[in-house]
Structure 1
Amino acid sequence: MREEIEINCDLGEGMPSDAAMMPYLGSCNIACGEHAGDDETIAATVKLAMNHGVKVGAHPSYPDRKNFGRLPLDIPFEELQSSLRNQIHRVKAIATTQKASLHHIKLHGALYLESLSNSFLAENLIDFLQREFPEQQIYAPFGSAIERAASARSVRIVHEVFADRRYLSASQLLERIHPEAVLTNLAEIGEQVALFINKKQVKTVNGRFHPINAETICIHGDHPQAVAIAKLVAGITKPMQRP
């Protein structure tokens, strides 16, 4: 029997589709206030997640609301570390008030992308997360720098793939500034997800196929077709259990 693959989504970012996404998700990544969100949105998203049995994760970013956390920020690691600590504790504390536990951590935007190839940053991030949040799993791609750093330190990584993004390599996404970075054709999205699941491969922009491991599939909550994508992906990953 094929192993079921979880769907996750970045939520609490001010999108109107959060509630509609929940029935399709196994976990959600909640904006911590530094690229989007605030205490009110965090609490509302945690409540939604609990109502649907969805695992709660923190989605910390560079402290840069102006750019939605999608541009690299040149700040000392000590400053970044302090911001990440506050962001993750913010979600964890609000979840605790609702008797929910923090299941995982997934970095956001430019910080996520940098951690995939920057070994120095990845190692520092994993050291920090292992020290400060040892009970939480980390969502990151197969073959990335942060996965390698985590493996060397026996930190649990949940291998993540993206339904709605185009790949530059097995562990690198095409940058959002590229006009074809975000997939919008549902048929193409379905083909990519089926390839993840059935072949354990990803097709990159150069047409090559690379091995990949998929344990959780991300759908971006700010995608204009997020709900339609969630329905599509749920039909592929859980064909007998559609909401």
Structure 2
Amino acid sequence: MERAIDLNADLGEGYGAWRMGDDDAMFALVTSANVACGFHAGDPLTMARSARLAVEHGVALGAHPGYRDRAGFGRRELAVTPEEAAAEVVYQLGALAAVARTAGTAVRYVKAHGALYHRLDADRAAAVAVLEALAAFDPAIVVLGPPAGGLERAAGETGIRYAREAFIDRGYLADGRLVPRTHPGALVHDPSAAVDRALELVETGGVAAHDGSRVELEPDSLCLHGDTPGAVGLARAVRAALDAAGHELRPFA
């Protein structure tokens, strides 16, 4: 069955003279871009360039806030309170929103990064604090996150619109969590495997877990990480396959 689906990627994760991934190529392939906001990665010039690329390619711009952990790329858990997490998310969102405005666009959704992404799905107090802060900033903002978990339930309680994502370059455990990056099978590097996963997710709503069982995800968006080795090749292959299968690629937000 033909359907509409979004393709998102974590982008804008360079800093100063250091570049992460090929943003020029990726912005031309995705329909939504999760742009780093300066804490785990990114800087004002990178955010401004990302906003201009989003406008140029008709890509929905999303904020990608993380822990204040540049050395660990935001993938280490930090012991911040729910109130601090909420303030830091809004701080990062506000920075990107201001830069986006100068480029003639706006931030349409928020997707947390790394360890913060996982914490918000497991820690109800932190999730509610962040969602309430986002609602106060913009009641129309959309939150992108994992399917059928704590963050989605908290979004329902606070009235925030929620969109589900599934990863086509990451392995899944039987309970729906991602295979830890330190374990075999955590990353998908083969374009043909990524294509098979993308088509299975779009056409059936689920995908095979690491142990062979099935995980039901029902995604609104498919995610590729911009820092995954070969990300551009994966994105090109997936986009071509979805187009060939007659699926419409468009932003969820």
- TM-score under structure 1 normalisation? 0.93
* Partners of 1:113 and 1:37 in 2: CA distance: 20
Assess if the C-alpha contact under 8 Å between 1:32 and 1:88 holds in 2. yes
How far 1:125 moved relative to its partner?
Answer: 2.4
Worse-matched range after superposition: 1-10 or 44-53: 1-10
- Structure 2 unaligned blocks of 5 or more: 15-19
Assess if the C-alpha contact under 8 Å between 2:40 and 2:74 holds in 1. yes
How far 1:170 moved relative to its partner?
Answer: 5.5
Worse-matched range after superposition: 71-80 or 159-168: 71-80
1:137 corresponds to 2:145: no
Instruction: Work out which structure has the larger RCO, using CA pairs closer than 8 Å and 6 or more positions apart in sequence.
Output: 2
Aligned to 1:217: 222
Aligned to 1:12: 12
The number of aligned residues is 242
Q: Which secondary structure does the structure 2 equivalent of 1:36 belong to?
A: coil
The correspondence of residues 123-202 of structure 1 with structure 2, limited to 5 A, is 123-169=128-174, 171-202=176-207
* Partners of 1:139 and 1:171 in 2: CA distance: 16
Assess if the C-alpha contact under 8 Å between 1:142 and 1:170 holds in 2. no
Aligned to 1:234: 239
Aligned to 1:116: 121
Aligned to 1:34: 39
Aligned to 1:45: 50
- Structure 1 unaligned blocks of 5 or more: none
* Partners of 1:119 and 1:79 in 2: CA distance: 14
Aligned to 2:97: 92
Deviation beyond 6 Å, 4+ runs, structure 1: none
Worse-matched range after superposition: 57-66 or 165-174: 165-174
How far 1:187 moved relative to its partner?
Answer: 2.4
Counterpart of 1:224, as a letter, is P
Determine what percentage of the aligned residue pairs are the same residue: 34
* Partners of 2:122 and 2:86 in 1: CA distance: 19
Say if 1:24 and 1:41 are closer, same or farther in 2 by CA, change over 3 A: same
How far 1:169 moved relative to its partner?
Answer: 4.0
* Partners of 1:193 and 1:170 in 2: CA distance: 19
- TM-score under structure 2 normalisation? 0.90
How far 1:4 moved relative to its partner?
Answer: 1.9
The two structures, once aligned, show a CA RMSD in angstroms of 1.7
